[in-house]
């Protein structure tokens, strides 16, 4: 898998997203960082909503994190009431 760093200086064209889709099909995974850039905050509301929805649905946890989460959930379910404390 090839890693490419690029900084977007303007709102990408439709061709940019078409290329990303092709790479996603080819590679099976894409890492998109910096989706909360200043440019994305200037998008119209409907595009901003779509951007957030796509980012949310694209989120996947790696297997070790999913397994830990499932283990914790099973443990809390089986052992009854619990208290979570975040300091």
Dihedral angle computed from the Cα positions of residues 32, 23, 43 and 5, in that order, rounded to the nearest 10 degrees? 50
Contacts of 55 (CB under 8 A, 6+ apart): 32, 35
Q: What does the pLDDT read at residue 37?
A: 59
Tens digit of each residue's pLDDT (9 = 90 or more) over 16-54: 777 877 877 787 766 666 655 556 667 788 888 888 888
Considering the entire predicted model, what is its pTM? 0.34
């Amino acid at each position: 898998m090839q890693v490419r760093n690029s900084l977007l200086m303007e709102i990408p064209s439709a061709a940019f997203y078409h290329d990303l889709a092709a790479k996603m099909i080819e590679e099976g995974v894409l890492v998109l960082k910096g989706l909360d850039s200043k440019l994305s905050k200037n998008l119209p509301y409907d595009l901003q909503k779509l951007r957030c929805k796509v980012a949310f649905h694209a989120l996947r946890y790696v297997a070790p994190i999913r397994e830990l989460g499932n283990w914790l959930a099973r443990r809390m379910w089986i052992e009854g009431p619990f208290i979570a404390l975040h300091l």
